[in-house]
Amino acid sequence: MPPTPSLDAHVIDGQLCKQTAIDCIVDSISFGTRTNPGEQLTRFSGMTSVADHMFANRSSYLKTIDLSNNRITGIEKNAFDNLTQLEVLRLSKNRIASIPKELFRKLTALKELDLSRNRLESLEALVFHGLESLEILKLRKNELTNLFDGCFWGLNRIQSLHLDHNNLTAIRKGWLYGLSSLNQLILSHNDIQDIDGDGWEFSSRLWELDLSYNRIHSITKDTLSRLHSLQYLTLHHNSIAFIDDSAFRLLTALEVLDVNHNQISWTIEDSSGSFDGLQRLKTLGLAFNHIKAIPKRAFT
């Protein structure tokens, strides 16, 4: 008869696993009775779903749960109930196509959520309700085409939002609602062509905005005018051929502006103030455009 497992270990489908890291091929999980404060659970393998109250016996002390690199297609509504101390939840590289309403409602201590490399096509309003402490949200490399108004509402402390490598076509005021603390927004590798003139009203604290590898054709005086705190603006690999006079005038904190690999030509040659107001600018990238001449007034 095999020895009785230590209380400092987990028994998962008959397999004995170390306390701090679990790497077993399972479809269901059961836990031992004793654990250490601040324990991390990592590397669950072979999972296809996350059941209601799956972590109920360990809800009071778990800090990190890593469910990445699985085959998860569904998560039940109460799967993460009572995980009041959880700070990091990784669900990347799965097959999740939708998020149940109120799934995260009790994860009030969560600081980082990674849903990258899944199959999400849209985000419903209030889908992240309850994540009042969230600081980092990663949604990169999904199939997102539609962000409903208010989908990020309630994320009052979020600082970094990664939406790169999706299929978004526009930036709308409605889905940015509630992101008043956002500092970093990564939107590269989408299909963005249209930016609402007042789209940044709810995210005016941004200091980094990455819009590279999109389909933007022009920058008007209203496109970015509300981003007074912006320091880093990345616009390379778009189709920008027109930059309005004074398009960047109100971006008084801007230090880096990258418009490499666009179609800029006469904007520079006939400029009468496209880059006015950039008193703190340290780096301006204009490489790989169609510029033939630069007059004296181009940067005055």
For 41-100, the pLDDT digits (tens) are 656 778 999 999 888 877 668 899 999 999 999 999 999 998 989 999 999 999 999 999
The CA distance from 276 to 246, in Å, is: 6
Domain assignment of residue 285, yes or no: yes
Range of the domain at 242: 214-300
The alpha-carbon radius of gyration of the chain (Å, integer) is 23
Q: In whole numbers, what is the pLDDT of the chain averaged over residues? A: 86
Q: With cut-offs at 50, 70 and 90, classify the pLDDT of residue 287.
A: very high
The CA distance from 121 to 142, in Å, is: 7
Give the model's pLDDT for residue 55: 85
The CA distance from 110 to 138, in Å, is: 13
Domain assignment of residue 164, yes or no: no
Helix, strand or coil, per DSSP, at residue 297: helix
Give the model's pLDDT for residue 28: 41
The CA distance from 206 to 200, in Å, is: 9
Sign of CA dihedral 271, 295, 269, 209: negative
Place of tokens 């778990």: 62
Q: Name the domain count of the chain.
A: 1
Helix, strand or coil, per DSSP, at residue 92: coil
The CA distance from 94 to 72, in Å, is: 5
Helix, strand or coil, per DSSP, at residue 157: coil
Q: Tell how far CA 46 is from the center of its chain.
A: 26
Give the model's pLDDT for residue 22: 35
The CA distance from 48 to 25, in Å, is: 11
Domain assignment of residue 111, yes or no: no
Q: With cut-offs at 50, 70 and 90, classify the pLDDT of residue 143.
A: very high
Domain assignment of residue 240, yes or no: yes
Domain assignment of residue 272, yes or no: yes
Span 227-247, mean pLDDT? 95
Span 142-164, mean pLDDT? 98
CA separation, residue 144 to residues 21, 64, 110, 186, 237 (Å):
32, 26, 23, 14, 21
Nearest in space to 67 (alpha carbons), one of 87, 42, 38: 42
Decide if 255 contacts 280 (C-beta within 8 A): yes
Decide if 157 contacts 180 (C-beta within 8 A): no
CATH of the domain at 294: 3.80.10.10
Domain assignment of residue 201, yes or no: no
The answer to whether the pTM exceeds 0.85 is yes
Q: How many helices (H) and strands (E) does the chain have?
A: 1, 21
Give the model's pLDDT for residue 221: 92
Burial class (CB in 10 A: 0-12, 13-18, 19+), 100: middle
The CA distance from 264 to 260, in Å, is: 9
Decide if 164 contacts 118 (C-beta within 8 A): no
Helix, strand or coil, per DSSP, at residue 268: helix
Q: Tell how far CA 204 is from the center of its chain.
A: 17
Domain assignment of residue 218, yes or no: yes
Span 273-287, mean pLDDT? 90
User: Quick check: 238 pLDDT over 70?
Assistant: yes
Percentage of residues in the chain having pLDDT higher than 90? 70
Q: Which residue has the higher pLDDT, 293 or 157?
A: 157
